[in-house]
Amino acid sequence: MARGPLVLPLFLILAALAMAVMIGIALSTRASTLELSAVQGRAYALRRWWLTGLVVVFATLFAITIPSFPYLEASELSTARHIPVMAEQYAFPVPAVLPVNTPIVFDVTAKDVNHGFGIYDPENRILAQVQAMPNYVNHLAVEFKQRGKYTVRCLEFCGVGHAYMQAAFEVR
Amino acid sequence: MAQTIAHDEHRVHGHAQHGIETLRPDDLRSARRLMWIWVDTGLAIFALMALMGVTMRAEQAGWISYGPDVFYSLMTLHGVGMITAMAVAAMGGIWYMMRLDGPLDERVAHWAYGFIVAGVIAVIVSIFPGKFGAAWTFLYPLPFVGATWAPWATGAFLTGVMLVSIGWSIWCVQMLGCVMKRYGGLRGATGWDYIFHNRAFTEAGKQPPSPQAFAAMVSAIDGLLTGAAGMVIGIALLVHWLDPSVRIDPLWAKNVTFFFGHAFANLTIYMAVSWVYVGVPRYAGRSYHTSQALAVAWWGTLFFVLLAYFHHLYMDFVQFQALQFIGEAASYLSALPTVVVTIFSCLMLVYRSKMRWTLGSIFIYTGLIGWVVGGIGALLDASIPFNNNLHNTLWVPAHFHTYLLGGVLLFILGFVFMMLEERVGAASSAAVRWIVGTLVFGGMGTFLLGFYVAGSAGVPRRYATEPTPGPHIASWATIGAIIMLVGMAVALIEALRMATSKPQGRLS
């Protein structure tokens, strides 16, 4: 799933909130001054709630992200169609055509150095990615729901031709 | 004069500065001189690297064209140079503060500085004329396969980074020795009895380490582990360079490389925050002391900084899966000490205070904002489902530029202006503050936003030539970077004016 476009508004909202609070506190210095002792009691009470809230948020985030982890179980590996990918400076050998709505597992490794096997959908958004590393095979599960031209770009710096390391395939 | 200095330092540094009363004026001046050497070196390297960075963004925008080999050489130097610049400046500042807290041998600091400078020279030689361009956190077997540079350049680069690691480790040993000696071993330096035997501790009339001593202690311990990792991977790579038949496991190399690189970069802000502990209370006119919450927060930082690096390997599915879980959890947890204790406390100190808004305090306070905003970007990237789409896109430089440029650098500038304001006994004019603030923060925001927008659109990082919409975004990001640098140039002129004008402040 291409989550990249979702993350920017989320980031901007959170960053704007944080900045608003901090700028508000900076502007509070224009108001009448309070002794630190008058601020501390309320601040420490607020901090307990702040800590509790953050722990709850992080624990919830951790729990809800786990089902979306891209790491595969052995059973998922056996039922899919496997496409071996041996990346090398500066090419990804991938089939020209792949089927739509079919579970596929890319068995990704590298011949020379580390590469990043990043699949971009027809709208040029990152759909999925995995590292291509010598001596190891990473299994990346993808099911293409949309027909069209997909691009593979290298997402790990691999040398002077890094920016030109790409391939394309058609899903139909 | 001596008493004036001692009195002023005591006032400036707020928290009980044992030993400052007995620090001789000559020693104080000598410590200041040493500190300025480190800070000025860091800022000089920063300035060169920043200019280099602008040319890289201009290359990505298509404004200029010097080719990918030059781009990747500059990218390598920019990366290692910026981290070293931030570290050196922060190391000088924290060294000075700890010198006010207890005895420190300047010769040891000079040795550390010498190793770092020698390392920087070796790295520069590897790039000009060596043309090394594998990125500073390259992943084995990269520097040895498909290289477009001479083999000696690889050796020179590795030697340079190891020399920097040695200098860094010497500094860490000295800092750790200082806090242990000052506060009664590791038990005292970590505030163990202050936490678990508080009543007896207080009744005995003991005082816990100052907030900045906690920053020094954690930076030193984590720094020694980081430095050791850097040495291990450095030696392994050097052995392979000398004898290619000796093989290294790529996954092991990746783990050690990121442990070293992530923690080293991360520690720069934890060192620089020691200046915040000093600066914010001073400007707000309120005192800040070590609390049990602060001690526990630093314990958390001690561990989480070391464990969070696993998020660099999320896309290595062969990595032991438990480590991926630890990576996400540690990344989240590493935010807690920062936002619940350090930043929260600073906001509490500022709220409804008599805060004096000078260039120094503006830089420090805005640095806190940059730290939070960069942290939000980092936390989103550290969430594995998002990382799936953001890993190695421009979102990565987005968040680390935010906390290095918008956090560490601003803390450094804040400290520099705090010292200069103290020297001249006055703050910069409102006009200068507005000009610098508008140009630096406006330009910086535009520059950083370019990374975030491009990263969310999937534009890969470390591309000399970017796919769309990269070049378009790089164009306005470059304009932002230029505006920011113009603002910093104005700040530099103001700093030089203050540094060369007749001293009138308390230190005169």
pLDDT over 50 (residue B427): yes
Show Cβ contacts of residue B124 under 8 Å, excluding neighbours closer than 6 positions: B77, B160
Output the CA torsion B307→B381→B43→B133 (10° steps). Answer: 90
Segment holding B455, helix H or strand E: helix B430-456
Which listed CATH number (3.40.50.2000, 1.10.10.350, 3.30.1600.10, 1.20.210.10) goes with B2-355? 1.20.210.10
Average pLDDT over residues A54-72: 94
Q: Which of B271, B395, B385, B375 is nearest to B333 (CA)?
A: B375
Verify whether the Cβ–Cβ distance A114 to B250 is below 8 Å: yes
* Contacting residues of A for B281, CB less than 8 Å apart: none
pLDDT, one tens digit per residue, over B431-459 is 999 999 999 999 999 999 999 999 999 99
Verify whether the Cβ–Cβ distance A68 to B468 is below 8 Å: no
pLDDT, one tens digit per residue, over A87-139 is 999 999 999 999 999 999 999 999 999 999 999 999 999 999 999 999 999 99
Distance from the A165 Cα atom to the nearest Cα atom in chain B, whole angstroms: 10
Query: Per the omega criterion (within 30 degrees of 0), is the bond before B244 cis?
Result: no
* Contacting residues of A for B352, CB less than 8 Å apart: 28-29, 31-34, 39
Instruction: Identify whether the C-beta of residue B73 lies closer than 8 Å to the C-beta of residue B133.
Output: yes
Residue A37 in contact with partner chain B when CB distance is under 8 A: no
Residue spans of the domains in chain B: they are 2-355, 388-508
Q: Output the CA angle B448-B358-B15, nearest 5 degrees.
A: 100
Q: Determine the pLDDT at residue B506.
A: 55
Mean pLDDT score of chain A: 95
Average pLDDT over residues B102-110: 94
Q: What percent of chain A stands above pLDDT 70?
A: 98
pLDDT over 70 (residue B271): yes
Segment holding B37, helix H or strand E: helix B25-61
| Dmax (CA) of chain A | 71
Mutation target for B interface from A21, A36, A48, A152: give the one with most B CBs within 10 A.
A36
Verify whether the Cβ–Cβ distance B333 to A58 is below 8 Å: yes
pLDDT over 80 (residue B7): no
Show Cβ contacts of residue A159 under 8 Å, excluding neighbours closer than 6 positions: A89, A90, A113, B134, B142, B145, B146, B147, B148
Average pLDDT over residues B79-93: 97
A58 residue type, one letter: F
pLDDT top residue among A67 and B22: A67
**CA B432 centroid distance within chain:** 26
Secondary-structure class of domain A74-171 per CATH:
mainly beta
Mutation target for A interface from B60, B69, B248, B351: give the one with most A CBs within 10 A.
B351
pLDDT, one tens digit per residue, over B144-203 is 999 999 999 999 999 999 999 999 999 999 999 999 999 999 999 999 999 999 999 999
pLDDT, one tens digit per residue, over B345-391 is 999 999 999 999 999 999 999 999 999 999 999 999 999 999 999 99
pLDDT, one tens digit per residue, over B452-494 is 999 999 999 999 999 999 999 999 999 999 999 999 999 999 9
Q: For residue A153, give the 3-state DSSP assignment.
A: strand
B393 residue type, one letter: T
Residue B67: band (very low, low, confident or very high) from pLDDT cuts 50, 70, 90: very high
Distance in angstroms (rounded) separating the CA atoms of residues B263 and B307:
9
Verify whether the Cβ–Cβ distance A65 to B462 is below 8 Å: no
Verify whether the Cβ–Cβ distance A33 to B141 is below 8 Å: no
pLDDT over 70 (residue B508): no
- Which of B316, B325, B350 faces A25 most closely, judged by CB atoms? B350
Distance in angstroms (rounded) separating the CA atoms of residues A151 and A145:
15
pLDDT over 90 (residue B14): no
pTM score:
0.94
Mean pLDDT score of chain B: 93
Distance in angstroms (rounded) separating the CA atoms of residues B148 and B11:
56
Residue B503: band (very low, low, confident or very high) from pLDDT cuts 50, 70, 90: confident
Give the DSSP letter string of B381-431.
HHSHHHHHHHTTBTHHHHHHHHHIIIIIIHHHHHHHHHHHHHHHTSPPPHH
- Which of A25, A113, A156 faces B392 most closely, judged by CB atoms? A156
CB contacts under 8 A, B 301-340 vs A, are 315-318, 321, 324-325, 328-329, 332-333, 335-336, 339-340
* Cα–Cα distances in angstroms (integers) from residue B118 to residues B54, B138, B173, B193, in the given order: 26, 21, 19, 41
What tokens appear for B424 in the block? 């001249």
Q: What percent of chain B stands above pLDDT 90?
A: 92
**CA B316 centroid distance within chain:** 27
List residues bridging with A103 in a β-sheet: A143
**ipTM associated with this complex:** 0.96
pLDDT top residue among B6 and B210: B210
pLDDT over 90 (residue A4): no
Show Cβ contacts of residue B29 under 8 Å, excluding neighbours closer than 6 positions: none
Verify whether the Cβ–Cβ distance B456 to A8 is below 8 Å: yes
Residue A32 in contact with partner chain B when CB distance is under 8 A: yes
Verify whether the Cβ–Cβ distance B340 to A47 is below 8 Å: yes
Residue B2: band (very low, low, confident or very high) from pLDDT cuts 50, 70, 90: very low
Residue A165 in contact with partner chain B when CB distance is under 8 A: no
Q: Determine the pLDDT at residue B462.
A: 97
Residue spans of the domains in chain A: they are 35-69, 74-171
Give the residue on A whose Cα is nearest the Cα of B466.
A163
Q: For residue A10, give the 3-state DSSP assignment.
A: helix
Distance from the B492 Cα atom to the nearest Cα atom in chain A, whole angstroms: 25
pLDDT over 70 (residue B211): yes
Give the residue on B whose Cα is nearest the Cα of A28.
B352
* Contacting residues of B for A62, CB less than 8 Å apart: 328-329, 332
Q: Determine the pLDDT at residue B17.
A: 42
Least confident of A76-90, A134-148, A153-167, B53-67: A76-90
* Buried b / exposed e along A12-45 (16+ C-beta atoms within 10 A): eebbeebbeebeebbebbeeeeeebeebeeebee
